[in-house]
Amino acid sequence: MSSFQYLKRWTRPTNYLGKEYTDYFPVYSITRDSDLLEQSNFATILARLGGDSPTVVVDRVHHWAFGWIDTIFVHESDPTVLQTADNLLAAIAINLILDEDDYETRVHDATIELVAEINRFPDQYPDRPADDKLYEYARALVTE
């Protein structure tokens, strides 16, 4: 029996044909369609757990509906990292964003990318505002 609030030991999903993770705890997952917040939290969790190591593993499985799913797993033999992972999940439950700077950087970069796309293809954005309001318009689209 684990003493974690958020972590649960891996169990084999129905119709799953992938690698076995019997001795691991899944921590956090993202898919091809994950938003910027989920991507930021995934990267932050992985970094704060020390990245890929003998006890921290990122595995990608392919799925017909989701395209792919990346999951961070922590091995049961590393109680310190497991507790850190549980604490990070608790922080997400309270605040949603683990690293404001990382998240804001991702939002800014995606906004700049969208502004460039809007300028290249203005006809695809008929409700675009004047240039002095374009960044705010693009940021709202990015963070929807």
pLDDT tens, per residue, the chain with 144 residues: 468 999 999 998 888 788 999 999 999 999 999 999 999 999 999 999 999 999 999 999 988 887 999 999 999 999 999 999 999 999 999 999 999 999 999 999 999 999 999 889 988 888 888 778 888 888 898 888
Q: Report the amino acid identity of residue 48.
A: R
Question: Among 106, 108, 118, which residue's Cα sits nearest to residue 139?
Answer: 108
d(CA 92, CA 49): 15
Q: What is the pLDDT of residue 80?
A: 97
Dihedral sign for Cα atoms in the order 29, 30, 36, 42: positive
HSE-CB of 97 using CA atoms within 13 angstroms: 12
